[in-house]
Chain A
Amino acid sequence: MVRWCGLSLLSFTLSALADSFANTAIVRSIELGGSLVQVTTTFAAKALEANSKVYTVALSDAEKQTSSWLEARVKGQAKQLQIVDRGADSNGVHLLDISLPQPLALNASINIVLETIQTHATHPWPERASQQDPQGLKYKADLLVLSPYHTAVQRTKIRAPSPSIHSYTTPENVGDFTLDAPVTKSGATVTYGPYNNVAASANEQFVSKHQQPVFVHYDYEYPVLQVPKLKRAAEISHWGANLNIQDDIHLRNAGPALKGHFSRLEHQSQTFYKRSAPHVIPGLTLHLPAGIRNTYFYDLNGNVSTSRLRTAPSVPKEAQTSQYSLLELKPRYPIMGGWNYTFTLGWDSPLADSASVDKATGKYIVQVPVWTPIPASVVNEAEVKIILPEGATDVEFATPFPVVSSSLSTHTTYLDTIGRPAITLHFKDLTERHAQPIFVTYNVPLSAHLKKPIAVAVAFFSVFAFALVTRRIDLRIHKN
């Protein structure tokens, strides 16, 4: 089918691929949200070659850009499959190789589930809304799921959070694939397809001929949260048995910008009648770790006294409990569409809850979460700085997913003599799924532990010695 266009080397690989599998069905379901859109694509594939080990999926360039989280599983199994990104080809198609758990025999079939979370995939429409207006969002997707293999049937279900869908695109020129209505809507779901007999589509020719964008304009009843910048500093203290975490958060309401001006009167009456506008962030509810203490929430103007915290008792590191401390955080002002709010949130937690010692090597292992998720929000840029104890050596770290960049530096704070090693990691487009621990291992020799008491002792003794000497020196010119 695609063999005749084999002009480039790439097409050879494609053609080679095209032989190995055929898709019996592809079902893509898209859960629309605010900042985050969850896309689950199920590929029912049949092996055309014996001993097929690698199944390849294709994403368009735009889709790859917005997909910040990507995982593949065999349907019904919990284990994640390894994904290797082949990078973009010249056609603007990304190919991802998924390694199958075991090689497939000829004509054997397998169901592969690809889950992605898209960020920055929606935008407010209309772009401005006044205080009483509802909040509309627009989502753009591609009509067809691309695949390097031939697909017997595929469909796309787009599920909005509420049945009030203002509009959706009716695709044209899909007569090749279906004779029925190309799109149907029932309740909150818009279904594109089924489209039958789709050729191997991960090539430019197919894309330019058949691919087309579809838009869904829907009502969203919750605020659209975005964190343009997050700076986390985690300071490990062995002397204090403490892990201090401090987040500098820039929060932004990415919903429609406020049209006109903010009227406190209207806001107060809306709050009073409990029909607050969907695009107002009156506050946040955060799940902080259990066992935290000395929690603080302040901004550039000082302490913000309008929040509540219910702490849960500390849980041991290995315990599988879902206990957490609940923070009801209320900013100084309700964050209307397009408004910003920067603040600092921090807490101390027992080091024992997140640290352990590797018995074999004697190294300390500390886990620091990449971030503490703000529900339904996306972090555009994150900087995580992990400050290790003074004198830590053999520092190694492992991140749950690739970093944008990382660097080592020295951080000097209270009672330090030579400063503490610090790891700085940069991430982008974090979602709730990214809230996983970073593991750091390091050695602290005894001499490094003793540095602080020695420094303090030396400082005090030098003061005493100074006093001792000055008492005994007579600087008078005339001895009386």
Chain B
Amino acid sequence: MPTAFPLPSDLSPATVTNTASLLRIVALSLISGAAIASRLFAVINFESIIHEFDPWFNYRATRVLASKGFYEFWNWFDPTAWYPLGRVVGGTVYPGLMATSGVIYNFLHALNLPVDIRNICVMLAPGFSALTAWATYMFTKELKDESAGLLAAAFIGIVPGYISRSVAGSYDNEAIAIFLLMFTFFCWIKALKLGSALFGTLAAVFYFYMVAAWGGYVFITNMIPLHGLVLILMGRFSSRLYVAYSSWYAIGTLSSMQVPFVGFQPVSTSEHMAALGVFGLLQIVAFTQLVRSHVSSKQFQDLLFLALVTVGLLGFVGVVGLTYKGVIAPWTGRFYSLWDTGYAKKHIPIIASVSEHQPTAWPSFFMDLQFLIFLFPAGVVLCFHQLRDEHVFVIIYAAMASYFAGVMVRLMLTLTPVVCVASAVAFSSLLDTYLDAAEPAEAADDASETASASGSNSGSKKAKKATASAATPGSALGDIVAAATPAKKGEKVKGIFGLDTRLAIIVNAFGMLAFFVFHCTWATANAYSSPSVVLASTNPDGSQHIIDDFREAYYWLRQNTPETAVVMSWWDYGYQIAGMADRPTLVDNNTWNNTHIATVGKAMSSSEEVAYPILRKHDVDYVLVIFGGLLGYSGDDINKFLWMVRIAQGVWPEEIQEPNYFTPQGEYRVDDKASTAMKNSLMYKMSYYRFAELFGGGQATDRVRQQQVPKIGPTLDYLDEAYTTENWIVRIYEVRKEDLLGRDLKSANAFAKGKKRKRSKPVSRRRAIVN
């Protein structure tokens, strides 16, 4: 057999296998190392710190778990959250993440390795990303072969779409969930392939872990039944499917019901009904198969098929009926918003107000996946080419995840693994084809001659182009398909001839890989490695300047206010205040009580007189606002203010109306032209209180909104400025207590300043305080 380049012939097969095995282990460990290392930008640039918002709650809960033990954590009622309601943390949390850290913590301490719990939490996501790489390798190996598996592992190890959720310090459920997702899918495919109850059970166990770790487990709950259903419809029912699905569903569902937060949902909500339905369908199909194996009558089979469809339809109608009657809970709002992107904005502003729930912008696909997004369809097509059971799975997964990723930014995360897998399949098919030294058996002389002739005649660049076009009649994909299938007899032999053809493709391919690595490093370093608790800017001399206003304010609260002081802020900062300042908060990022949040929104968007009774009724001692106007920090509360207004309007449509906060021209302004409602709102006053004075008579400019703030700033009668951070990002106000003489605070303030009291007004004001 002719080869394009010499191959060593004196190697025994055993040596080749052993070397390949060793190389695989080395490659996998290097991939794990790269996966962990590329997530450490945040630690190196900043420090070992918990990022963003939700991780602070997870970290706080983990600390409780580590210090007080599992049972204490399980029964933990947190009176400081959602003051005065409190929160049953043990029953409203996915404990998988905390339990994982707790187990690692206790294990290390048992070995006399007293690692700080914070460092475990910070490093958990990078550690699990290495495991994800391994799980993806196993998954892809089942799909194609080891080399595709290694490519997939390398892709998922450094792809920004996954790094965005798993940098060091991003201590969130997703950190471990993607590993569990991939490993559950691997176990499922393995179980399906082998018809193995063991792997089915393993899939169930990891499914349980996933249920305990992330709300996104519903994705698995629907993916596996969908796969099963499609296989049945394709006429691929087999005892392997029956064993795998039944063992997974029975054990998985029972164990998932042990998680308190999930409870009886697997048998009572719509999201889980598909799994139950497919389980029932499988039993019927299996029964049919059994009957058919005993009775061989064509008509009987038809009858059974009819019965099957009838029962299936009846079951479906039954589920719908039960849903209407209320036995089965209908789809939740978050799920509706998956089908109708405008749903949340209309009905649940809280969900819509979260930036990661917005539909994905097109550029972010390239940002998060780079060249994988082009290879992904090719890989899916290659799956059609073979179409074993597991390929069907990948095709369904690809279709579903693509849709979801388009609907919601954060679901990009579930798309990323399948993109890596499919791209790896495509890429490794390409490499397989072009790295294979074998030349087509009946080499068509003229084809190879033209290729080599053009290669020798023209310049190297042109030659590459020419050979590339010569080697790819039609499309590259068609060529791969052609190369993968043996050429039929009688036709003109297709294939790859010569070394230059191969080199052209391979150099290109490796170029793509190299650019991918550069892109991943760049995206990770620049876009995804900011803790957002700590901001960084650059000094004129190029050194890094840390802006640490958040921790400054939280630490001040922690050290210099009474431990029971209730802090009101917008819900974004609830977890951070609980975690870093250790003070009770009214609302936090667990947005379970819309009314409570709307109350805060109302207090923030009403005038002082209206807000004050609300504050006093909720025992609020301090109000915290984020103000970026001095520094140009755009994620501040004035920019979020319209959401507060909208959410408050949802509950009190008579009192708060969004249009009042715009100018008559419909602009959102904070300068002289700002609307009266805007200027009187507590949020506006707290943000700009004494801000203009900072400019010492000059024109005060809000750097976020690029507007000129009025020279005479707002005054506060019911609140006192308690603390403002170095760059004015966090401003804390203390709520005044009622005046000792029974006056309302406004007139008491006016009296203290020596102003003359107006005759007409105080009477009505006094009445206001009585209410």
A-side interface residues toward B, CB under 8 Å? 260-265, 268, 299-306, 332-333, 339-342, 412-417
Contact = CB atoms under 8 A, between A and B. Distances in A.
Nearest to B556: A333
A415 to B, nearest CB: 7
Contact of B551 (A261, A301, A341, A414): A301
Nearest to A304: B548
B112 A414 contact: yes
Contacts of A305: 47, 546, 548
A341 B724 CA distance: 17
Given A263-B724, A264-B724, A340 B560 contact: yes
A333 B548 CA distance: 10
B670 interface: no
B694 A333 contact: no
Contacts, number: 72
18 contacts: A261-B734, A262-B724, A263-B690, A263-B721, A263-B724, A265-B724, A301-B558, A304-B548, A305-B546, A332-B548, A332-B551, A332-B556, A333-B725, A339-B559, A342-B559, A412-B112, A413-B112, A416-B112
Interface of B: 47-49, 112-114, 546, 548, 551-552, 554-556, 558-560, 580, 690, 693-694, 720-726, 728, 734
B580 A301 contact: yes
A302 B46 CA distance: 10
A302 B723 contact: no
A302 B548 CA distance: 11
A53 B559 CA distance: 54
A303 B580 contact: no
B736 to A, nearest CB: 11
B114 A303 contact: no
B467 to A, nearest CB: 49
A160 B548 CA distance: 39
Contact of B694 (A265, A299, A417): A265
Nearest to B694: A265
Contacts of B555: 299-301, 332-333
Given A305-B546, A339-B559, A414-B114, A262 B552 contact: no
Contacts of B552: 332-333
A264 B725 contact: yes
A386 B728 CA distance: 43
Given A261-B722, A262-B722, A333-B556, A303 B47 contact: yes
A33 B722 CA distance: 30
- Mostly helix, strand, loop or mixed at chain B's interface? mixed
Contacts of B728: 264
A262 B113 CA distance: 44
A296 to B, nearest CB: 10
Contacts of B49: 302-303
Given A260-B720, A264-B728, 6 more contacts: A300-B555, A302-B49, A306-B548, A332-B555, A333-B552, A412-B112
A265 B693 contact: yes
User: What are the nearest 8 A-B pairs in CB distance?
Assistant: A264-B724, A305-B546, A303-B47, A332-B552, A301-B551, A340-B559, A302-B49, A301-B580
B516 to A, nearest CB: 33
Contacts of B558: 300-301
A413 B548 contact: no
B690 A265 contact: yes
Given A263-B724, A301-B580, A341 B559 contact: yes
B548 A261 contact: no
A265 B558 CA distance: 22
A260 B112 CA distance: 50
Contacts of A332: 548, 551-552, 555-556
B112 A415 contact: yes
A301 B554 contact: yes
A414 B548 CA distance: 32
B118 to A, nearest CB: 8
Contacts of A414: 112-114
Nearest to A339: B560
B336 to A, nearest CB: 39
B196 to A, nearest CB: 13
A224 to B, nearest CB: 17
A341 B552 CA distance: 11
A259 B65 CA distance: 41
A215 to B, nearest CB: 30
Contacts of B112: 412-417
B496 to A, nearest CB: 39
Contact of B114 (A299, A301, A413, A417): A413
Max count, chain B CB within 10 A of own CB: residue among A301, A413, A414: A301
Nearest to B558: A300
Contact of A302 (B113, B551, B690): B551
Nearest to B114: A413
A304 B551 CA distance: 9
Contacts of B726: 264, 333
A372 B117 CA distance: 29
Contacts of B113: 414-415
Contacts of A333: 552, 555-556, 723, 725-726
Contacts of A342: 559
Nearest to A411: B114
A303 B118 CA distance: 13
Max count, chain A CB within 10 A of own CB: residue among B49, B724, B734: B724
A333 to B, nearest CB: 5
Nearest to A258: B560
B544 to A, nearest CB: 9
Max count, chain B CB within 10 A of own CB: residue among A268, A305, A339, A341: A305
Nearest to A252: B559
A299 B581 CA distance: 12
A347 B721 CA distance: 38
B760 to A, nearest CB: 31
B530 to A, nearest CB: 15
A264 to B, nearest CB: 4
Contacts of A261: 720-723, 734
